[in-house]
């Protein structure tokens, strides 16, 4: 798509409000630090956001958590309610796809209607996700992961609950921006080696709540620029423990290893 053409793309979906003009966001996207991204408020119908949160919370709190050294979270590619499904469907629609191509300058983006490693993402109390770079290749289609879109569903989310999306310098030396996960906020960024991000501190919301987001990923046939991530090293904050530098290990296995090496010591996060 020619990003220099100021064409406004309208959607027939009741989910997206108004037109989508990439020129409204592109300068900020390209110049954003620590790497290209944008945060958009008010694009998705607030009534649909509120209904999606209400419909998904029960499912979210019942999902099994993955307990690992670098993350505690749950996710499912199949939300339970029609409103969350409608949001994900709109994010895969032609109008939004054209907007993404214009915004990012990446032609030929391909959505993933199956939402592998996406869909509904859930962080209940105590959950976190260490600093990371996203996966590079879809494990089934073998397409290359290029763009992420996140939509938050958290009404009345308080700052003391935590859960900000942290954007870090590519060398993981410093956090440059924190994005609160408040209801209706939409975040777009390119999946690249530079895009180090995470929710590194445990969520502190009440037990009957969880940090909820809908995620949609976009792919291309050819890889993007930049190096591959090391198979054996992962980004971590300067004060994180040593084991956070390595790929995630299931918590049970890690505790068994720690017990063998240092009896009586268990993994705490």
The answer, yes or no, to whether residue 84 has pLDDT greater than 50, is yes
* pLDDT of res. 6: 46
Residue 196: Cβ-neighbour burial (10 angstroms; 0-12, 13-18, 19+): buried
pLDDT band, very low/low/confident/very high, at 230 (cuts 50, 70, 90): confident
Backbone angles phi, psi at 183, to 5 degrees: -55, 130
Does a structural domain hold residue 26?
Answer: yes
The answer, yes or no, to whether residue 181 has pLDDT greater than 80, is yes
Taking residues 226-235, what's their average pLDDT? Answer: 84
Q: Are 44 and 93 in contact (CB under 8 A)?
A: no
Does a structural domain hold residue 171?
Answer: yes
Please compute Rg for the chain using Cα positions: 19
Does a structural domain hold residue 4?
Answer: no
* pLDDT of res. 259: 42
**Tally of domains in the chain:** 1
Does a structural domain hold residue 57?
Answer: yes
Interval 116-173: pLDDT, tens? 999 999 999 999 999 999 999 999 999 999 999 999 999 999 999 999 999 999 999 9
CATH number at 64 reads 2.60.120.620
Does a structural domain hold residue 99?
Answer: yes
Backbone angles phi, psi at 100, to 5 degrees: -60, -45
* pLDDT of res. 8: 52
Does a structural domain hold residue 168?
Answer: yes
Instruction: Return the closest-CA partner of residue 145 out of 207, 42, 66, 224.
Output: 224
Interval 158-178: pLDDT, tens? 999 999 999 999 999 999 999
The answer, yes or no, to whether residue 267 has pLDDT greater than 50, is no
* pLDDT of res. 222: 95
The answer, yes or no, to whether residue 251 has pLDDT greater than 80, is no
Instruction: Return the closest-CA partner of residue 85 out of 97, 76, 94.
Output: 76
Q: Are 268 and 86 in contact (CB under 8 A)?
A: no
The answer, yes or no, to whether residue 211 has pLDDT greater than 60, is yes
Interval 34-78: pLDDT, tens? 999 999 999 999 999 999 999 999 999 999 999 999 999 999 999
Does a structural domain hold residue 1?
Answer: no
Cis peptide before 212 (omega within 30 of 0): no
Residue 243: Cβ-neighbour burial (10 angstroms; 0-12, 13-18, 19+): middle
Domain that holds residue 250: 9-223+231-261
Query: pTM surpassing 0.95?
Result: no
Does a structural domain hold residue 269?
Answer: no
């Amino acid at each position: 798509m020619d990003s220099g053409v100021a064409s406004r793309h309208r959607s027939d979906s009741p989910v997206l409000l108004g037109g989508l003009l990439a020129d409204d966001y592109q300068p900020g996207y390209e110049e954003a630090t620590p790497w290209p991204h944008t945060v958009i408020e008010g694009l998705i119908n607030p009534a649909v956001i509120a209904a999606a949160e209400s419909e998904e919370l029960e499912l979210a709190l019942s999902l099994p958590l993955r307990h690992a050294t670098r993350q505690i979270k749950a996710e499912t590619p199949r939300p339970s309610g029609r409103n969350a499904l409608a949001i994900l469907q709109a994010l895969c629609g032609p109008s939004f796809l054209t907007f993404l191509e214009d915004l990012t300058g990446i032609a030929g983006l391909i959505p993933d209607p199956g939402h592998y490693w996406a869909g509904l993402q859930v962080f209940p109390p105590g959950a976190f996700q260490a600093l990371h770079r996203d996966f590079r290749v879809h494990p089934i289609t073998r397409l290359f992961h290029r763009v992420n879109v996140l939509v938050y569903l958290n009404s009345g989310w308080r700052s003391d609950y935590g859960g900000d999306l942290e954007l870090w310098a590519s060398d993981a030396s410093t956090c440059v921006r924190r994005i609160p996960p408040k209801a209706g906020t939409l975040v777009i960024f390119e999946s690249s080696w530079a895009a180090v991000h995470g929710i590194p501190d445990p969520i502190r919301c009440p037990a009957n709540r969880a940090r909820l987001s809908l995620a949609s990923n976009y792919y291309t046939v050819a890889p993007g620029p930049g190096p591959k991530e090391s198979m054996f090293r992962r980004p971590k904050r300067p004060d994180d423990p040593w084991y956070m530098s390595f790929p995630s290990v299931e918590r049970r296995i890690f505790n068994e290893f720690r017990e063998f090496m240092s009896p009586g010591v268990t993994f705490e996060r």
